[in-house]
């Protein structure tokens, strides 16, 4: 299943500030490959947002899949992805890590995946391997909203 109704000219779901066609779409269409762990992680968030589950499997290192399939990822209930915040990114040769918070809503509850994800480069391609989960850090009421609407959190997703 893929969300085909997303306009390429829209801002990319990964919250980079670029349009989808200039950011994650070329990776999803296999026109380009991710050059850094952060670029791969952002493209994976966009793939979750757009329900491009095959891409998520293709960019997950085979040694770490543990039976995960696109069909598993597509099972209901699916969260409504709201925004991505990259906290830090590090690359050292063929290894890298990205710490992020991916905000979502499920059953009218706001939550986030706060993770330090590990990546390895093999055969000139970056792959996600595994991640260490952390407790979500919620914004304060007057902070900018996690969905990047430009509104304060209390006036948007924090209602």
Residue 65 within any structural domain of the chain: yes
Residue 116 within any structural domain of the chain: yes
In this prediction, residue 4 carries a pLDDT of 59
pLDDT in tens, 1-33: 445 578 999 999 999 999 999 999 999 999 999
Low-confidence ranges of the chain (pLDDT < 70): 1-4
Count of domains observed in the chain: 1
In this prediction, residue 149 carries a pLDDT of 84
Residue 40 within any structural domain of the chain: yes
Residue 9 within any structural domain of the chain: no
> What's the whole-model pTM score?
0.92
Q: DSSP string of 36-92? A: SHHHHHHHHHHHHHHT-HHHHHHTB-GGG-TT--HHHHTPSSPPEEEEEEEEEEEEE
Residue 83 within any structural domain of the chain: yes
Q: Measuring CA to CA, how many Å separate 9 from each of 19, 26, 148?
A: 6, 13, 17
In this prediction, residue 1 carries a pLDDT of 42
Residue 10 within any structural domain of the chain: no
Residue 3 within any structural domain of the chain: no
Residue 7 within any structural domain of the chain: no
Domain range for 108: 20-155
Q: Measuring CA to CA, how many Å separate 70 from each of 119, 137, 153?
A: 20, 29, 33
């Amino acid at each position: 299943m893929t969300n085909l109704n997303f306009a390429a000219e829209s801002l990319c779901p990964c919250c980079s500030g670029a349009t989808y066609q200039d950011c994650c779409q070329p990776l999803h269409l296999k026109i380009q490959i991710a050059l850094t762990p952060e670029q791969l992680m952002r493209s994976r968030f966009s793939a979750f947002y757009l329900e491009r589950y095959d891409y998520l499997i293709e960019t997950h290192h085979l040694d770490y899949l543990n039976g995960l399939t696109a069909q598993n990822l597509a099972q209901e209930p699916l969260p409504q992805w709201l925004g991505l915040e990259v906290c830090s990114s590090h690359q050292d040769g063929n290894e890298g890590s990205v710490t992020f918070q991916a905000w979502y809503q499920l059953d009218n509850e706001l939550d986030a995946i706060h993770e330090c994800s590990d990546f390895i480069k093999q055969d000139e391609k970056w792959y996600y391997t595994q991640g260490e989960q952390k407790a979500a850090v919620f914004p304060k009421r007057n902070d900018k909203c996690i969905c990047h609407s430009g509104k304060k959190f209390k006036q948007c997703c924090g209602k």
